[in-house]
């Protein structure tokens, strides 16, 4: 059990399970993009650990960039996505692999879908370490899913609660 700010969290997904999921997703990405030179785009702050692991396992040439958007306050989505740090790279006619730590409401994905389409990408695919199907009500496809999880609040492995918990090597869920 750990405590972050005013909430308690219990162990949920081990570091070993996360590594196995990343190995599987990375194999799929290598299979599908190994003959291209994709631009990996990590969605900050949460995806920094996941993005690093996927890019380290990529066997071809690639580039990496990051975008920072935000929609959470505490444990709840505000429903509004704010672009905090945009892309500073020309993506016209490029293949993009979007790396997300978690997809829940999909609000961030809708915003990124618009940004990527406006930038003229040739194609893009969404890769998410965690996916909450109960919470997802949008139409943007999530092409690679590491693990489907219930609609519970989690921290660790890049995910936080008001800034804390990102450095944890395993994932914890909010104690009920």
Catalytic residue numbers read 104
Sheet holding 144-148, edge to edge: 76-85, 63-73, 39-44, 95-103, 123-131, 144-148
3-state secondary structure at position 41: strand
Round to whole Å and give the CA distance between 163 and 156.
11
Report the interhelical angle of 15-33 vs 48-57 (nearest 10°).
Answer: 50
Contact 69, 43 (CB under 8 A): yes
Q: Are strands 95-103 and 144-148 parallel, antiparallel or unpaired?
A: unpaired
Burial track 10-30 (b if 16+ CB lie within 10 A, e otherwise): eebbeeeebeebbeebbeebe
Q: Would you state the structure tokens that stand for residue 87, as one six-digit string?
A: 């892309």
């Amino acid at each position: 059990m750990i405590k972050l700010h005013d909430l308690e969290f219990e162990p949920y997904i081990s570091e070993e399970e996360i590594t196995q999921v990343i190995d599987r997703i990375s194999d799929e990405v290598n299979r599908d993009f190994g003959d291209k030179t994709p631009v990996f785009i990590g969605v900050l702050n949460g995806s920094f650990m996941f993005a690093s692991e996927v890019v380290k396992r990529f066997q071809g040439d690639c580039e990496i960039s990051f975008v920072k958007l935000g929609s959470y306050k505490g444990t709840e989505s505000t429903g509004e996505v704010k672009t905090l740090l945009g892309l500073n790279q020309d993506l016209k006619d490029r293949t993009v692999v979007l790396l997300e730590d978690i997809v829940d409401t999909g609000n961030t994905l809708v915003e990124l879908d618009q940004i990527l389409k406006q930038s003229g990408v040739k194609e893009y695919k969404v890769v998410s370490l965690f996916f909450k199907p109960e919470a997802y009500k949008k139409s943007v496809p999530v092409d690679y899913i590491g693990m489907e999880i219930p609609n519970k609040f989690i921290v660790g492995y890049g995910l936080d609660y008001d800034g804390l918990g990102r450095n944890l090597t395993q994932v914890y869920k909010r104690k009920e």
